[in-house]
Amino acid sequence: MSDLSDSRECPVLTILVDQQPQLEFDRTRGLSDHQLAGLERMDAQMDAGIQAGDRWLEQPDRLQRAQFVAVQLVAALQQGDDALAAASCAYLATRLPDLQQVKAVRVDGGFSLELVFDEPYVPETVVEFTTRPVS
């Protein structure tokens, strides 16, 4: 987990699963009042506590909420629940303006998760090398 201290806002949050981008949220585009109300409802539900692995957190902090929502987001992507994935991505992007990437890697029937605050996503560039004829 990367440091939360980098306070620079990143305009794009990228969600990656197995190093492949799955979803992006452009923070320069606003959310509707209906969408913002939905995010407020998510916070209100988490105010009652969240299940984090085998622990119940009665008063989750900002990072614990983000981890919980990121897990929900990746599960929604795996299940094809686009609405939950979009809402979860919007939550993370608005509540953590310095979050730049969510990286999930499938491991043993589950996945490991990393929230990246200090490195924007940069698409890989494939460079093809051709061999020169030997003279």
**Model pLDDT for residues 101-119, shown as the tens digit of each residue:** 999 999 988 899 999 999 9
Averaged pLDDT for residues 35-47: 95
Query: Where are the domains positioned within the chain?
Result: 12-116
> Look-up: residue for tokens 């407020």?
40
Q: Which two tokens stand for residue 61?
A: 């902090």
Q: What per-residue confidence (pLDDT) applies to 8?
A: 54
Q: What per-residue confidence (pLDDT) applies to 73?
A: 97
pTM of the model: 0.82
**Model pLDDT for residues 63-100, shown as the tens digit of each residue:** 999 999 999 999 999 999 999 999 999 999 999 999 99
Counting Cβ atoms within 10 Å, is residue 90 exposed (0-12), middle (13-18) or buried (19+)? Answer: buried
49-85 b/e (C-beta count within 10 Å ≥ 16 → b): ebeeeeeeeeebeeeebbbbbbbbbbbbbeeeeeeeb
What is the C-alpha to C-alpha distance for residues 91 and 42, in angstroms, rounded to an integer? Answer: 8
Cβ neighbours of residue 57 closer than 8 Å, sequence gap 6 or more: 49, 50, 51, 64
Cβ neighbours of residue 112 closer than 8 Å, sequence gap 6 or more: 104, 105
Q: What per-residue confidence (pLDDT) applies to 5?
A: 38
